[in-house]
Amino acid sequence: MSASTKFAGTWSAILATALSMVYIVGQLAEWWGLLGSEGGPESASTILGIVVLLTPSLLLGSSFLVLLVSIHHCTPPDKRVWSHTAIAFGTAYTVLISIVYFVQLTLVAPRMARGQIAGIEMFLFVPFDSFLYAVDMLGYSFMSVATLFASRVFTGSGLNRTVRWLLTANGLLLPFLVLQMYFHWLIWPASLWAITFPCSTWALAIFFRRAPIERVTLGPNRATRS
């Protein structure tokens, strides 16, 4: 792969891993009632919870999309339909969750701080019972689909097999995400995301870090690669 693809892939994977871990720690603190909420998965977040949870989540969307683009650029031509499809679903994920989290951070949280939530009730992020929570679940469902398609790129054994299985495992969380609005208890199996996603992105960071760089030299008539 090119040096730029290696750089973008490595650092987007590292960033996605770090941001997901920050979110996971914040979510555990939220469920334990350490951020001011009543605790548990059904409690609405406080202003502190919104900032702690949604800031890394907002940045995660963009880093994940760059990671998918990096995968596409090192995919053999006969498999690019899978990596390109992953980008399509990853773009949908990024757009949806970015809207949700940006609205929460720039509209809802400041209004909550001033005690002025009248008129924005439909934008409050209430687990299992709000418009934006449903949009968020749709976004993460698209993320799962994106990782399923991206997994098709990695063949063979060793690290490639590890990446393939981790991406597939993350993709198989799809039904637990998309049906969560109907069956709230599905949040518990869906919480396996806290394992499958950071493990898959860290494996991808290792994949890009170990990948050899394709060197291009200019000959008298054409460029040659080695």
Q: Over the chain, what is the mean pLDDT?
A: 92
153 backbone dihedrals φ, ψ, rounded to 5°: -75, -35
Domain locations in the chain? 3-211
pLDDT digits (tens, 9 = 90+) for 42-97: 888 889 999 999 999 999 999 999 999 999 999 999 999 999 999 999 999 999 99
**Alpha carbon distance 123, 93 (integer Å):** 19
Which residues, listed in sequence order, are joined to residue 24 by a DSSP beta bridge? none
100 or 37, greater pLDDT: 100
Q: Per-residue confidence at 41, pLDDT binned at 50, 70, 90?
A: confident
Q: What is the pLDDT of residues 149-199, one digit of tens each?
A: 999 999 988 999 999 999 999 999 999 999 999 999 999 999 999 999 999
Task: Say what the pTM is.
Answer: 0.90
Q: What is the DSSP string of 156-202?
A: SSTHHHHHHHHHHHHHTTHHHHHTTTT-GGGHHHHTTHHHHHHHHHH
Question: pLDDT-derived band of residue 222, with 50, 70 and 90 as boundaries?
Answer: low
Q: Residue 143: which of 116, 112, 178, 108 has the closest Cα?
A: 178
Asked if residues 58 and 26 have their Cβ atoms less than 8 Å apart, the reply is no
